[in-house]
Amino acid sequence: MLSVTLSTAKPTTARADALILGIRGDEDKGDLAATLDLLGFTGEKGQTVTFPAGDAAKTSLIVAVALPEEPTAEDLRRATARGVRAVKNATSLAIALHPAGVDEVEAIAEGVALGAYTYETYKTKKKGDAKKPKLKSAVILSPFARQTTATKAVERAATVAEAVNIARDWVNTPPGDLRPADFAEAITTHAGTDVKVSVWDEKRLAKEKCGGILGVGQGSDSPPRLVALTYAPANAVTHLALVGKGITFDSGGLSIKPGASMQTMKLDMAGAAAIVAATVAIARLGLPIKISAFACIAENMPSGGATRPGDVLTMRSGATVEVHNTDAEGRLVLADGLALATEAKPDRIVDVATLTGACVVALGELTSGILSNDEEFSETVFAASKAAGESMWPLPITEEMKGKVNSSSIADLRQHNPKPYGGTLFAAAFLREFVKDIPWVHLDIAGPSFNEGGAVDYTPVGGTGTGVRTLVRLATELAGAR
């Protein structure tokens, strides 16, 4: 397990395999100026160079990472992760990025744990292969290392990073090994005694009239599940409900996807992974806020028993929904989860889902969409995302979408957009039908939830854990803990 500690040691005297040294300008280069200039280090954003320390430090290597003159917490988080990734075989690191406050220490500590993440569960070692060293310890150098607030910041960072990384692990797990019952069991194990967990199987779902989750899952031989988590501290100052889309594999159902589009569809449970991981982290942090979380889990498969386009499903709320496209299944399971969330009578609701490809078209692969029925709450979530360092952007739910959602001739609601544009807005308008008048935010994380390219800073290949840090930061702010 990775250990992150604090020290008042100077960069020149810290002992470790490598030193990550932040360079904010020519003054920071000091005696290393000639070496850095020779290596072409200009201080351009994102630049990293590695070289033998020689007599300049007690470490074997120095990793110089470029920083702006006045770095944000996110700049420090990313620079730390770049440094961690630059030294692949180090078991110990010293990190000298000159943090100016406790928030910056926390960001650096997060950067270490997030940048060190790898997923190698299914990698096999051939006989004779050398065992790759793994990072075991990192020490953050800071003049206020002995302050209690700094120590608590490092502990808080470890809890948040662990939450992000468990979400990454779940998303990365092959879909055949994380079917609905498996995912429910994994959630229960992870929650431990920190939160109360209740698992509804297909019989309980039928009894509770969760037609959306049952309708999506009925084509699979692995029945759906709903996992409800509750964290209710005695000193709670507010009540937040979280709902997550947990499609463990999305074939598209009878509206089947092209083969190439299915390759990464294990990612479709990233929303549920995010809300569960965040809930457990909030509990472990002891935040004075009640959380009611609902992970809506199903496998969307084609079979003779699958839901058909043209079928009508009855949701938990009692509303009937005409299905037009079985590949728009996420909104169906979320509808039941949102109905359950409203029954819990929270002050606010957030749902998280890899919901629409249209959001990726609108905002790209790195930015999540924020859609809401409440401007003030939307702004609060947006501010939390910026403070957490996650890229999100508000989108509107335009008035025209309500008419489209209510345009079915045979049911209360139409499930799929009749037009080939505005898909993200339509989906949010559909979900809005299930939250009543409770302030609600929908986070569409379809783009940044999974990284098919190369690792960048603290973003690994595969599951990214998007949404976890924003939810924890939001809960912290709502609880008045900052």
State the Cα–Cα distance between residues 65 and 225, nearest whole angstrom: 46
Per this entry, what is the length of the chain? 482
Q: Which residues sit opposite 246 in a β-bridge?
A: 297
Instruction: For Cα atoms 218, 221, 226, give the angle at the middle one, nearest 5 degrees.
Output: 60
What amino acid positions are annotated as catalytic residues?
257, 331
What gap in Å lies between CA 360 and CA 294, rounded to an integer? 25
- Give the C-alpha separation, 259 to 363, whole Å: 25
Structure tokens at 70: 């006045």
* Cα 199 to Cα 30: distance, rounded to the nearest angstrom: 59
At 179, the amino acid letter reads R
Query: Which SS3 state, helix, strand or coil, does residue 309 take?
Result: coil
Q: What is the DSSP letter of 467?
A: T
Give every CB contact of residue 366 below 8 A, 6+ residues apart in sequence. Answer: 391, 447, 448
